[in-house]
Structure 1
Amino acid sequence: MMSEFVTIHEMGPRDGLQNEPGAISVDDKVGLVNALADAGLRQIEVGSFVSPKWVPQMADTDKVTATLPALDGGQYDVLVPNMKGWEGFSRSSRQGTYGIAVFISASEGFSQANLNCSIAESVERLRPVVDVAVGAGVPVRGYVSCVTDCPFDGPVAPEAVADAAGVLRDSHDMPISLGDTIGKGTPDRIGAMLEAVLQAVPATNLAGHYHDTSGKALANIDVSLALGLRHFDSAVGGLGGCPYAPGAPGNVATEAVVAHLHAKGYQTGVDPERLRHAALLAQTIKRNARENAQT
């Protein structure tokens, strides 16, 4: 264990900033991404090609991707929920390697609130996106939301999560991130969910995405490590949450995850001091955005 590497997928510039109420400039977004890259993060989600009507903070993702320098030895990701999003992504100017992320929910209530469609309908929407991305040689990552609890339906059965992950894998052999969207997961329930999902997807292709709303994210990471996961999502400064999930704020902070993993002897490739600088920058951007929203 002492020499094992754990990959951190940094979500702050997308999942972290998308819920802020005030304007955030392209320069601030690019500056945050560059600070994260300088800290050693090599998997960074930088935006999403979604309707600005629903997620206004992501309306300038094309400008962000046009401005960012190539990420040496790494990959930027953007969320692409449908073919319209793919068209926006394919038109955008960018340097370096980019991947896309697609997502479904393990609960019907969240699928209706987030996507205005059933789980089955959401799968049909993403299939052509996956097909065209694979054909173009663009890496694809999948997300499953609400892996223990849904803000609308309540507790989610582990088997429903395994089914959702299996559906994504049927469309393409993609890595899958499992999201505790409202942060109610406990180590016992995360463990039970993972044991079900592991029947369909190997641990090497899974990531844990644990919100820290209830203060259990690091404990949930520990049970995931014990079951073989070596990929985790986090957001610098603990930014963010989902705008369609009441009670969701509180992505686990990247700096907390890195410190926790380093204390256990894992390697991450992340420099804690430079990450601290990125976290301070993230909090400044967040504070300015909220002040802008009040003026």
Structure 2
Amino acid sequence: MGTRELGLPQAAPASGLPSRVTIWEVGPRDGLQNEKSIVPVDLKLEFLDRLGEAGLSVLEATSFVSPKWIPQLADAEELLGKLSRRPGVRYPVLVPNERGLQRALAAGCPDIAIFASATETFAERNLNSSLDKQFEMFTPVVTGARDAGVNVRGYLSMCFGDPWEGPVRYDQVVAVGKRLLELGCWQLSLGDTIGVATAGQVEGLLAAFADAGIGPERLAVHFHDTYGQALTNTLTALRFGVSTVDSSAGGLGGCPYAESATGNLATEDLLWTLEGLGVETGVNLDELVATSAWFAEKLGRPSPSRVVNALAG
């Protein structure tokens, strides 16, 4: 029997899970920002179109970061100018500062995200700031965006471990995350930037947020799979009530500022798990696998997603 003949997972619903999960697809932005070569804009556009065709309702399209720092995303204006937006699909963009916000507003973006650090060292290395001073940069961005009717999501990196500082205290993460929400972010995505989190840590951090009055409806999770724990950690978060999960088609991505960070949780691997648990996503796994297999071929290397390799191989 060939691998594909095994079909899709047999749904066996489990208790204690959300009935539906929103997949926040980060492949076009987070997945491509770490590529060694520049991906042509027309290929990115086809990638986005295929992801939308597969049923993904949130596609993080690009970032308005300086081309000097991430040249792979220097085509942000061109990409958004040529993008055919599908009805019912959101195309958020990452905005690092006020200059990035002005570019996003000029491009007509209704959804942006800011990227904060939960640790001092990563704030210094990634934002050229400090843990406290990063908010001086974020405040005018969030205020300006909200005044323009733009939704702002907050990313919080290094929530579980930092390559320079080691384990990160729950109260420190909660303090920074609470400030982002109070600033005006509608949702906070908790990032395991170097993939060191364990299920117990995930439960502990979410419980700490709950104790601070911040429930799972305000939170999302963003796990990297460095030690193969991304799916386990995601399931833990879902059982705690989180219903938005960041993932990357084909498992693309990493972090250009943290060398130990490997790829994001593969959207196909996440989908296999969710379909097996009877959790709705609105995404067609077959179409997504075909898209990631096609894109991996365009990039000239195999996809790191086990589900892509199993179903498309």
TM range (shorter): over 0.9
1:43 corresponds to: 58
Deviation at residue 284 of structure 1 after TM alignment = 2.4
1:171 corresponds to: 183
Alignment of 1:202-281 (within 5 A): 202-281=215-294
Distance in 2, matches of 1:71 and 1:133, equals 23
Distance in 2, matches of 1:285 and 1:118, equals 39
Distance in 1, matches of 2:74 and 2:151, equals 22
2:112 corresponds to: 100
Please give the secondary structure, in 2, of the residue aligned with 1:102. strand
Deviations 1:68-117 (A, max 9, x none): 1122112101000110101111222x5xx630001211111111111111
1:184 corresponds to: 196
Distance in 1, matches of 2:230 and 2:266, equals 9
Q: Computing the radius of gyration over CA atoms, which structure comes out larger, 1 or 2?
A: 2
Calculate the TM-score normalised by the size of structure 2. 0.88
Distance in 1, matches of 2:185 and 2:163, equals 29
Distance in 1, matches of 2:300 and 2:208, equals 40
Identity %: 41
Q: 1:31 aligns with which of 46, 50, 60?
A: 46
What is the number of residues matched between the two proteins?
285
Deviations 1:30-58 (A, max 9, x none): 11111100000011101000111111111
Deviations 1:117-169 (A, max 9, x none): 10211111011111111111111110100010011211101111111110101
Distance in 2, matches of 1:20 and 1:84, equals 24
TM-aligned CA distance change 1:121 to 1:265, over 3 Å: same
- The answer to whether the 8 A contact 1:9-1:233 is kept is yes
Please give the secondary structure, in 2, of the residue aligned with 1:207. strand
Calculate the TM-score normalised by the size of structure 1. 0.93
2:93 corresponds to: 78
Deviation at residue 199 of structure 1 after TM alignment = 2.8
Please give the secondary structure, in 1, of the residue aligned with 2:23. strand
- The answer to whether the 8 A contact 1:42-1:71 is kept is no
Deviation at residue 173 of structure 1 after TM alignment = 4.7
List gaps (5 residues or longer) in structure 2: 1-14, 302-313
TM-aligned CA distance change 1:285 to 1:123, over 3 Å: farther
Distance in 2, matches of 1:90 and 1:228, equals 33
Comparing 33-42 with 67-76, which one deviates more in the overlay? 67-76
2:9 corresponds to: none
Please give the secondary structure, in 1, of the residue aligned with 2:281. coil
Q: Quick one: which amino acid aligns to residue 202 of structure 1? A: G
1:291 corresponds to: none
Distance in 1, matches of 2:99 and 2:164, equals 27
List gaps (5 residues or longer) in structure 1: 289-295
Q: Quick one: which amino acid aligns to residue 119 of structure 1? A: L
Distance in 1, matches of 2:246 and 2:223, equals 7
Distance in 2, matches of 1:25 and 1:212, equals 27
Distance in 1, matches of 2:28 and 2:158, equals 21
Q: Quick one: which amino acid aligns to residue 117 of structure 2? A: S
TM-aligned CA distance change 1:130 to 1:3, over 3 Å: closer
Please give the secondary structure, in 2, of the residue aligned with 1:129. helix
Q: 1:110 aligns with which of 122, 137, 141?
A: 122
Comparing 117-126 with 10-19, which one deviates more in the overlay? 117-126
Q: Quick one: which amino acid aligns to residue 209 of structure 1? A: H
2:5 corresponds to: none
Please give the secondary structure, in 2, of the residue aligned with 1:233. strand
Please give the secondary structure, in 2, of the residue aligned with 1:75. coil
Q: Quick one: which amino acid aligns to residue 208 of structure 2? A: A
- The answer to whether the 8 A contact 2:153-2:185 is kept is no
- The answer to whether the 8 A contact 2:27-2:248 is kept is yes
- The answer to whether the 8 A contact 2:268-2:289 is kept is yes
* RMSD value, Cα: 1.4
